[in-house]
Structure 1
Amino acid sequence: MDKFLVNMAIVRVNLDRKGQDILDNYIPLVHETLANMENDIFSVDEFKTRFVEIAEFSIPTGAVLALLKRAMKKYELLIKGESGTYIINRESLQTSGYTSVRDAEQRKYNQLVSKFVRFCKDELDLTIEHDSAASYFFEVLFDLAPLLFKNISDAEKLKINHSDKNRYLVARFISYANNADQESFESILSFVRGSILTETFYYSQNPTDIENKPLRRVVVYFDTQFLIRLLGFSDSALCAPSQELWEMLKEMQVKMRCFQDTLDEIHGILFAALNQMDSHGRLKPNRPSDIFDYITQNNIKPSDLTIILNTLEEKLKDRQVYVEPRPKLIDAYSFDHELLGEKLSTVFELQSEKARQHDINCLQAVFQIREGRKQEYLDRCKAIFITTNSQLAQLSTHFFNEQYGPSSAAVCMGDHVFASLVWMKSVKKITDLPKDRLVANCYSALLPSESLWSEYIREVTRLQDQGAITQEDYHVLIYGMASREQLMEHVFSSDDNMFGSVEEILDRAKREYTKEVNERLSTIEGVATKQSDIIDSLVGSIGRVVETIVLVIILCCWVIVLGYALLYTSPTSITDLKSLSPKSIVFLVLLAVTLLNLIFGIRLVDVCRNIANKSGEAVKVWIRNRYNM
């Protein structure tokens, strides 16, 4: 399995190289496959079989033919033989650098696995075998590249090992790496980029069509959660991918729409929030990071929420997303709503009947716009429904494939996958899109599921009703980020059920809050001390400047008075002093200073310094009182 991840890292997109398209990224794998062919003359099926052995994933025959054509015409690795066969040009194969690239990526991958194993042991007290660590990283691809995941050689084994716990563990590690270990994060991102690129192989008969054919004739309809994230009513990590997809579609001049039913559903959510705020004062989120949680965390007032309600359609128009009425049902283009509803209710047990019917109606509308036909080409499919719910996308695709045959352009597509396809078509590619997709995927994995959160809410409410926890404890458990982190850590680190665990989660959350508050206080005290030192230094400098200025002024005055006295004020007789003229006064002052110095040892310069010091201190006191320092 690790060979697959290494190959995905090798395939990763290099957007800086001119004249290179999607097929060129796979030429190293084609090189290696051809080098390991037993015979120089081979058929397409023989090449495909060997390619799967080397790459550890299968690709459609159309993609295989496109790769062989590229290897023959651009790289001269092959010569066309008779009866659909190909002949290997062994001389050209000698220029392949696959082995050195593979070894370099393998070393990076080995380091990544070692760090993951050590992280689980040190941070989560969980022992993971080095050989089984690869299966955890495949959890990343389950949503980002669902069709590629199904075509991996060990797909069945990976499906058995797939679990929310494994997804949570690798998400914890990726979140840590993104913040503290960029080398590991880049290693993960490299095979994520390669996987996103490879996923596009399964949506067209010819992979180059993904890049070359625009979507201008396709109308894209968004679901409720996508629009909520597009408008920014969720956590920024979840909103970023939706906003990036919107930017690419806008740049490509793709028509973006939503059905009136979808706008009504958003209105209904906001009205419910407004009513709950009026009744209880504070919202109880149905799931962390939903719109109720966003309103609470951002302290949005009822008046602000009312403004949002009244300007919702205008906000969508500003983003060039226009509202359309859902077309009336035409029986000829209808599918079995009841059967699809049963499949949805089996997977989404907590979904309301109203929400389920909304999904079915939107799928019906898009299917009807397509005139009830399966579509082979994404750029000609007329309409497509984009959802943030990857399970809905996969389940509905499976339903339509069963009823009407496989299609390369599904009626409903997850926003992760659709963004990858649009990204390949976009002229101005958003370089951070794979990273933002990875971060959003991991962020979702670190949040409690809807079923877990509902169970948790019931237990917290039960304890409050029994008086086991206070109102303040209730708020910490429901709205505190530390409580949510502790909830996820508790659930995935033990086999206990929720009951009897809330007190432990509360205790851990309080400890985390205390630790966090102490750290913040220490930081604030450090900053305050530093700022106080800077202020003291500044005020002291100002005081010293004032002292120096006053001292210089006083001394200059005394020097002038002394010079004047020596030259002009000496009396010719004692009787001249009786007149108390200015000259006499100056002489008497000079005499007094002289006597004080001779008899008491008082120096004039000391008197001047004392006056200057008092002046400086007075200025410092004034500055502190003036600016409340």
Structure 2
Amino acid sequence: MPYALEALRLSGDRPLTDREVKDRVFDLFGLDLPVNVVSSLIGRGAKQSLVKRAPRTRELTLSEGAAAKLPDIASQQLACRREQTALVRGLISFAQTRFEIEWDETTAETALVDYIESHAVSLLSFSVRGRNPADYEGADQGSGYIVAAYIALVAEGNPSAFGYLDQMVKGSMLASALYLEVPNDVQRRFRRTILYLDTPICLRALGHEGSDAQEATQQVLRLAMSQGASLACFSHSVKEMRGILEGTKVALRRTVGAESAMRGVATHFRSSDYNENDVNLAVERLERDLDKVRIRVVDTPEHTTHFGVDENELEHVLQEKINYKYEHTLLPDLNSLTAIHRLRGGESGPHLETCKAVLITDNSALVRASRSFFNSGRHEWPLAMLDHTLAALVWVKEPTQAPDLPRQRIIADCYAALAPSPNLWLKVADEIDRLDQRGSISAEDVALLRYSNEAQQSLMDMTLGDPRRVSPKAISTALARARESAAAPAVDEKRQAESRAEKAEEAEAASRFLAHEKASEAQALRTRLDSLEARDTRRVSAIRKSAERRAGALGLFVKALVVVVLVGATIAGIATFFPVVNEFILRPLRLPILIAGAVAFTISILILAKGKSILEYVGIQQAALQARFEKSALQRAGLVEAEQPQDEQHDGA
């Protein structure tokens, strides 16, 4: 609707008819909408009071004030164009770098848009655009393969660019809904219609081709079931699945043999390090696993004369369109198409949702073959359709229910496109057998070509996914890359050994240098320690001498004082016994002096009685005082630790 309203806005005051709006939308935005679609969109705008229609002329104009409510489509268009240009230029650079192919912007843009349309909007292939599914034949070959490889690269390493690509896919899928004959068709729900899944679709839904393919497939199936569809597969398809799973045992053993029909499963199993026990478990649980994802196994309906078809002619058409190499790969497809024909009662209406039964496959050649054979008009909806088409149809009905579906589909499709198709691999296998028979390659070379991922990628890059480009040169190039890859572990091991040896030598040199540094540091520390010890010795010696001097001086003073006091006291005490002396002493002092003299005399007598003189006693006290002076000075200098006071010691205890 915004595009139709923008066309009216840009027309100014000039009224437009529905057809003129259609033409303006095509000129401005490249959307070739049917007139009835334009009328429906304008009707929605009128209900929202955005559009006025003249009663007589039926001409259209915007309502007053409606222009201010419209989104700024011009700015959005410019921003989208810038992002698309960046994406296209990245594709040009990628094609030149990886494939040495020169593309201009027009060629690259066309390749990108064609790839998006072929994978996201298969619905358009039978819309009013008139593009037939045959127009997309080989969409994953040539330029399509280059685009797929580019998208895979962008998905892994450029989130912003892939985000725009995701918007392109969503926009294309939503645009496809505009081409339905009746706009309300997009809201139609499934009624008693069963989607019969072809073998590859079932294997992907079960996860046997990797988690990306599983999630993308299951998203589509869940969305279809939420809209009323039922899921099933034929019993002959289950038999084919068992055969493919059993065949992967050969691939896991790397035994030479054809594996074109099982390459996706075999590649996934090998990359996941599965063994034969894992395969046996997958085979044993096959029907239970199908039931878990709500795929019902039904018996293939019996043949009836009334709804019978010329199976010989159908087989001829299938062989012509698909070129099967083995009959056991042709029969399941033939049985599936004829079974759908019988389940429909030989005819169907024009809508998927009410066609009763349809085969969902990833084989575009099978879809083309079924259209070619059942072209009488009795089946208005084709018997077989691509899973891309189903994804587009169910997603546009409820895009908000699975917003990541387009992103998951495009990623899964790109990785699928990078793997060899069955036809390509059959051609490669034939060429390998021919070279082997001629003796041009060894048995080891055959194994490398069949099972090396590098050989597979090289073959795809050389041929761009086109079986017609398989040649001895492509095989030789692939073999050379595979040999290089096979030798890579030995080369890497040698480089790692050389690197380890170099690191060991560097570590040894560093160790020697470190040891020398540590020895030098230890020597410097020893020298410093000796210096500090010498300094401390000098300081201790100086402190001792100072303490000795102080204690000596104090001792000398005490000795002199003691001598004077003792002598004086003794003399004074003796003198008090003489009357002459007493006359010169004041009477109050006579008795104290006498007592002091007696005491001093008595002390002297006691000291002398013990064998020590007064001077010797003072000398002992002098030595103790010197020790105290020395200890105090050493503590202040930090040369010894201070003793903790006894009170603190008791408190700590």
Match of 2:167 in 1: 190
Q: Distance in 2 between matches of 1:181 and 1:288?
A: 32
Verify the 8 A CA contact 1:282 1:296 in the aligned structure 2: no
Q: CA deviation at 1:330?
A: 4.1
**How far did 1:286 drift?**
1.1
**Which residues of structure 2 form unaligned runs of 5+?**
508-653
Within the alignment, does 1:439 sit opposite 2:411 as a pair? yes
1:165 is displaced (CA, Å) by 1.1
Q: Go from structure 1 to structure 2 and tell me whether the alpha carbon gap of 1:58 and 1:341 turns closer, same or farther (over 3 Å shift).
A: farther
Aligned to 2:433: 461
| Equivalent residue number for residue 411 of structure 1 | 383
- The answer to whether structure 1 residue 52 and structure 2 residue 29 are counterparts is no
The answer on whether the counterparts of 1:66 and 1:206 sit within 8 Å (CA) in structure 2 is no
Note if 1:130 corresponds to 2:102. Answer: no
1:225 aligned residue: 200
Deviation for aligned residue 1:464? 3.8
Look up the match of 2:444: 472
Aligned 1:109-128 pairs, distance under 5 A: 109-128=84-103
Q: Which residue in the other structure is 1:170 paired with?
A: 147
Which residue does 1:309 correspond to in 2?
283
From the superposition, tell whether residues 153 and 380 of structure 1 become closer, same or farther in structure 2 (CA, over 3 Å): closer
Letter in structure 1 aligned against 2:477: E
Q: Does residue 339 of structure 2 align to residue 358 of structure 1?
A: no
Contact 1:285 1:293 in 2 (8 A): no
Counterpart code for 1:344: L
2:463 corresponds to 1:491: yes
Deviation per CA, 1:175-195, whole angstroms, max 9, x where unpaired?
Answer: 221122222222222111111
3-state secondary structure, aligned to 2:259? coil
Question: Cα deviations across residues 325-363 of structure 1 (Å, max 9, x unaligned)?
Answer: 222344444555555444332220125445444334323
Match runs of 1:310-325 below 5 Å: 310-325=284-299
Give, as a single letter, the amino acid of the residue that structure 1 aligns with 2:86: Q
Provide the residue aligned with 1:380 in structure 2. Answer: 354
Q: Which 10-residue stretch deviates more, 480-489 or 447-456? A: 447-456
SS of match in other structure, 1:327: coil
Structure 2 partner of 1:99:
74
The aligned counterpart of 2:632 is none
Q: CA contact under 8 A between 1:37 and 1:47: conserved in structure 2?
A: no
Contact 1:240 1:436 in 2 (8 A): yes
Q: Secondary structure at the match of 1:133?
A: helix
Other-structure match for 1:538: none
Match of 2:2 among 4, 12, 28: 28
Q: Deviations for 1:259-291, whole angstroms, at most 9, x for unmatched residues?
A: 2222222233345556x5799856652167433
**2:384 and 2:36 mapped to 1: Cα distance?**
23
Aligned AA (2:45)? A
**Partner amino acid, structure 1, of 2:195:** V
Q: 1:29 Cα deviation (Å)?
A: 1.9
Matches within 5 A, 1:205-604: 205-210=181-186, 212-215=187-190, 217-251=192-226, 254-273=229-248, 276=250, 281=255, 284-286=258-260, 289-334=263-308, 337=311, 339-350=313-324, 352-397=326-371, 400=374, 402-404=375-377, 407=380, 409-426=381-398, 429-492=401-464, 497-512=470-485, 514=487
Q: 2: distance between equivalents of 1:282 and 1:299? A: 19
Q: Is residue 122–residue 392 contact of structure 2 (8 Å, CA) maintained in 1?
A: no
| Alignment partners' CA distance in 1, 2:368 and 2:324 | 18
1:397 Cα deviation after fit: 4.2
Matched, 1:146 2:118: no
The Cα offsets for residues 392-418 of structure 1, whole Å up to 9 and x where unpaired, read as 234434654x411684x4432211221
Quote the sequence identity (%).
23
Letter in 1 for 2:201: F
CA drift of 1:434 comes to 0.7
Residue of structure 2 in register with 1:545 after alignment? none
Contact 1:259/1:324, CA 8 A, preserved across alignment: yes
Provide the rounded CA distance (Å) in 2 between the counterparts of 1:150 and 1:208: 18
Code of the aligned partner of 1:174: I
Change (3 A) 1:492 1:292: closer
| Separation of aligned partners in 2, 1:252 and 1:136 | 33
Match of 1:347, SS state, is: helix
Query: What is the aligned partner in structure 1 of residue 640 from structure 2?
Result: none
How far residue 502 of structure 1 moved from its aligned partner, in angstroms, is 2.4
Change in Cα spacing, 1:94 to 1:124, as seen in structure 2 (3 Å) is same
Structure possessing the higher radius of gyration over alpha carbons: 2
Moved more, 319-328 or 212-221: 212-221
**Whole-angstrom CA distance in 2 between matches of 1:431 and 1:305:** 34
Q: CA RMSD in A?
A: 4.1
TM-superposed CA distance for 1:476, in Å, is: 2.1
Q: Distance in 2 between matches of 1:270 and 1:462?
A: 27
Distance 1:50 1:329, change over 3 A: farther
Equivalent residue of 2:60, what SS?
strand
Question: Alpha carbons of 1:199 and 1:283: their partners in 2 closer, same or farther (altered >3 Å)?
Answer: farther
State the TM-score, normalizing by the size of structure 2: 0.67
- The residue number in structure 2 matching 1:181 is 158
User: Once structures 1 and 2 are overlaid, which stretch shifts more, 149-158 or 450-459?
Assistant: 149-158
C-alpha distance in 1 between matches for 2:454 and 2:23:
50
C-alpha distance in structure 2 between counterparts of 1:376 and 1:136, whole Å:
31
Q: Distance in 1 between matches of 2:11 and 2:365?
A: 39
CA distance in 2, matches of 1:504, 1:360: 38
Deviations 1:361-408 (A, max 9, x none): 3233333333333323333333222112233234434654x411684x
Separation of aligned partners in 2, 1:464 and 1:208: 60
2:445 counterpart SS class: helix
2:128 and 2:221 map into 1 onto residues whose CA distance is: 31
SS at match of 2:348: coil
Taking the aligned partners of 2:464 and 2:254, their CA distance within structure 1 comes to 32
